[in-house]
Amino acid sequence: MDFQHTLLSWYKTHKRDLPWRHTNNPYIIWLSEIILQQTRVDQGTPYFLKFLDAFPTVTDFAKADEASILKLWQGLGYYSRARNMHATAKQVIGDYNGVFPTSYQELLKLRGIGPYSAAAISSFSAGAKQAVVDGNVFRVLARYFGIQSPINAPKGIKEFNVLAAELLFMPDPGLYNQAIMEFGALQCKAKKPGCSICPLNVDCVALKTDSVGKLPVKLPKAAKKSRYFNYFICIKNNQILVRHRLAGDIWQHLFDFPCIETKDAYDGLQPDLMDAAVAVFGVDSSLSLKTSLRHILTHQLITAKFFLVDDFFIELSKFDNCKWVSLQELDELPQPKLINNFIEKFL
């Protein structure tokens, strides 16, 4: 038990004072866990506080409209998680009479909650004997025990989960899970870990074998798909034309601008793009390139060009899912981070 006791002792001294650590309310812990799957603690904390302020209970979350949830989520990416959260809140109201479950098995029945989230919520809210294995835990275990199995391969994931379960500190599983996660975040960091002052350095296999920088092992990711968006910015009478994105592609239910996607990147106003724009905006229309931005998603690399359109003629009925909004209304609409960046810098 030396490994576990050392982690618990370290945690008692070094743990951060985080807002979700002052409660065992499963709803609040659920909020924090889903948000922190998207980003680091320092970036995720303001989002957590905004969500908790807007929706202090799961009932408030369930009653919210999707647009307000997506707006609060803006900038985190993976918007499907925000929609899953909304569905989860409604499910808790409908199936559990508004009482957020704490059982690992019941949590797995909720939309968007997998084994990791179920283990974390049940462990932190009810002391369930479930090992919580996130990226920090993978790193600590891989280095301390010298495990070479890839952490993103099924065999490796199973191996790490079995080991984590064996190491679980049964007198207080929730405290131990917090300790090893925090240790990975602050001490056994991915870059520049504090090995010289690490309380586990005497028995750390990676340190002994000079392989700290090589562990944990990850299989290479598949190459990202490149996509090229050409956005058209139409402004008239202090209103701007926006498009509501539907299901079937990225950024579902968010708002961007009328767009033509091309197979290749354009250096500027290529003839075929001009012809396509004329067909949409009329023969007297003209385009000027405002800027070009790149945006990286998990599996896609987006290159977006933004064209200002002048002298356009628009029959709104011919524009699928488009509408005119004021610039104030535009600011209130949920947008992809790429679009929000353009608006903030250029509008």
Residues 112 and 100 sit within 8 Å (Cβ to Cβ): no
Measured in whole angstroms, the distance separating CA 328 from the mean position of its chain's CA atoms is 27
Domains of the chain: 2-132+154-191 (1.10.340.30), 225-346 (3.90.79.10)
Q: Is the entire prediction scored with pTM above 0.85?
A: no
Asked whether the predicted pLDDT for residue 60 surpasses 80, the reply is yes
Alpha-carbon span 227 to 57, nearest angstrom:
40
Instruction: Report the length, in residues, of the chain.
Output: 347
Share of the chain above pLDDT 90, in %: 76
Question: Phi, psi (5° rounding) for residue 190?
Answer: -60, -45
CB atoms within 10 A of CB 123: 25
Tens digits of residue pLDDT in 119-142: 999 999 999 999 999 999 999 999
Q: How many CA atoms lie within 13 A of 248 on its CB side?
A: 3
Q: Which two tokens stand for residue 229?
A: 């968006």
Tens digits of residue pLDDT in 276-319: 777 778 777 888 888 999 999 888 999 999 999 888 888 777 67
Question: Looking at residue 39, what DSSP letter applies?
Answer: S
Mean pLDDT of 257-270: 76
205-209 contacts, C-beta under 8 A, 24 or more apart: 205/143, 205/144, 205/145, 205/146, 206/142, 206/143, 206/144, 206/146, 207/143, 209/146
pLDDT at 271: 65
The overall average pLDDT reported for the chain is: 92
CB atoms within 10 A of CB 231: 22
pLDDT at 205: 97
pLDDT at 268: 56
Mean pLDDT of 43-57: 96
Helices (H), the chain: 2-14, 26-36, 41-54, 58-63, 66-73, 79-96, 104-107, 115-126, 135-145, 154-167, 173-186, 205-208, 271-281, 327-332, 337-346
Tens digits of residue pLDDT in 150-169: 999 999 999 999 999 999 99
Catalytic residue among 33, 106, 261, 315: 33
pLDDT band at 347 (very low <50, low <70, confident <90, very high): confident
pLDDT at 78: 82
Would residue 261 show up in a list of annotated catalytic residues for this protein? no
pLDDT at 267: 58
